[in-house]
Amino acid sequence: MVQKVSKEDLKAKGFSFIDEFKEFVLRGNVIDMAVGVIIGGAFQGIVTALTEDFINPLINGIGGAEVGGTFKIYGGQVIRYGDFITAVINFLIMALVLFVLLKTVNKFMSIGKKEKVKKEEPVKKSEEVELLEEIRDLLKKQNSK
């Protein structure tokens, strides 16, 4: 486990910019994030292939609409609305997959927390504390009369 060190501690110890950068890069969460970005990029290719090679042909075959269509505007320019629709479909698939993934991870993370909460027993008060609370309650009753 990497120990967190403040900037002041690094400067006081004479660390240079390079040492601070190493400290930042070698933190666990930065490396985890980098792995996530790489896996996400690879997964994006799968989602794009699914959309272009499977979903778009199904939409074309069922509805008769071409998802890869274009719309011609002035000066020979075209608007590729089909590419936009494909990008929206890709986004929705990625969002759904991430939602399911995060929900699953959160469920697994909460399993350990629930077990810890169940194992903790309430702290039993000592006899002295119970006696002092009883005296306090009696004094409150006398003062309220």
CATH topology of domain 7-136: 1.10.1200
Type of residue found at 94: M
Q: Which two tokens stand for residue 64?
A: 């008769």
Give pLDDT, residue 8: 64
Nearest 5°: the CA angle 65, 71, 75 is 165
CA distances from 127 to 109, 120, 124, 131 (A): 39, 21, 9, 6
Regions of the chain with pLDDT less than 70: 1-15, 24-25, 28-30, 63-68, 112-121, 145
Q: What is the reported pTM?
A: 0.46
Please write the tens of the pLDDT for every residue from 51-71.
888 877 777 777 666 666 777
Give pLDDT, residue 68: 66
Contact (Cβ atoms closer than 8 angstroms) between residue 24 and residue 30 = yes
Give pLDDT, residue 85: 81
User: In terms of C-beta density within 10 A (0-12 exposed, 13-18 middle, 19 or more buried), how is residue 20 classed?
Assistant: middle
